[in-house]
Amino acid sequence: MKQYGFYLGCLMPTEQYAYELSLRETLPHLDIELIDLPGASCCGEPMKSINQLMTLYLSARNIAIAEKKSLDIFAPCAMCHLALTECQHILQHNESMKNRINSLLAQEDLEMKGTSRIFHTVDLLHDVVGLDLLKHAVKNPVALKVATHYGCHLIRPSEIGRPVDSENPQKMENILITLGATPVDYPQKLDCCGAPILAHLPESALTKTGQKLQAIQDQGFDALVTVCPWCQKMFDARQQKAGEIIAATLNIPVFYLSQLLGLALGIDKKKLGLHLNHSSVNSLEVEEL
């Protein structure tokens, strides 16, 4: 089995448990072994506008912990993936900053070399596992018309390298087709979920959430599929409040891609954390999928 350092970030172990549960259940079926990283901390991304050096240090520290175990990194949170990737990019092109960061890391006997590759859920499934293996692993095709949401952090800035194309991402669609679903492109596909401004402008954030969910609902999708705990938090846990903000009744089931993957692999829905979803996933009778 291929081993990856499992970088959880902050939101998954404190709130979005279903993402972690579904990943730990599904990936071993695809010859992926997740190795925990004791001592890992926040990636620093939420604090980048306040202290960029601290963000670089925190991300470099997490990378160094994985490198000390000679592991590539699996970072399923899009925000964390961006922070780690950006850190690696900056330090690869700025030797003096890299030396400065490593002088701080040396206090913990750590060194950030930049040798570990960093993967997200989408490119791990699409590029590493591959569609052929996924196809052979499917036991219960998930026959749903689905809308995909990649999220802002997964698609840009493209100059530092992102897991998917910034203008027309299709890797989630390819995965979902392999799982038996029918993904359909829609005009609002790349619109933000609103999470980056939730703390400062909650009504504006939830307006963006509600408007996208309403557009998906109006276009007759069965469900929305996400790959980021922040996006899932907005569309799933905040769906009712977003509906109140835009004066609309919203009833869109929201799944993590890893949850639909688990259903397609024939894994019991309780092991995938579906009971932790706030949206109406049970309205699709997922136990029969």
Specify whether 103 is located in the same domain as 153: no
* Cα 36 → chain centroid: 17
pLDDT 10s digits, 146-201? 999 999 999 999 999 999 999 999 999 999 999 999 999 999 999 999 999 999 99
Instruction: Tell me if 223 is assigned to some domain.
Output: yes
Pairing relationship of beta strands 254-256 and 182-183 according to DSSP bridges: unpaired
Instruction: For residue 49, name the pLDDT band (cuts at 50, 70, 90).
Output: confident
Instruction: Tell me if 134 is assigned to some domain.
Output: no
| CATH, residue 218 | 3.40.50.11810
Instruction: Tell me if 92 is assigned to some domain.
Output: yes
Packing angle of the helix pair 95-105, 52-68 (nearest 10 deg): 70
Instruction: For residue 52, name the pLDDT band (cuts at 50, 70, 90).
Output: very high
Q: Given strand 118-119, what is the order of strands in its sheet?
A: 32-36, 2-6, 72-74, 118-119
Number of domains in the chain: 2
Model's pTM, two decimal places?
0.96
Domain hosting 106: range is 2-119
Specify whether 206 is located in the same domain as 98: no
Residue 81 phi, psi dihedral angles, 5° rounding: -60, -40
**Single-letter code of the amino acid located at 60:** A
The angle formed by the CA atoms of residues 82, 253 and 219, to the nearest 5 degrees, is 95
Q: Taking all residues of the chain, what is their mean pLDDT, rounded to a whole number?
A: 96
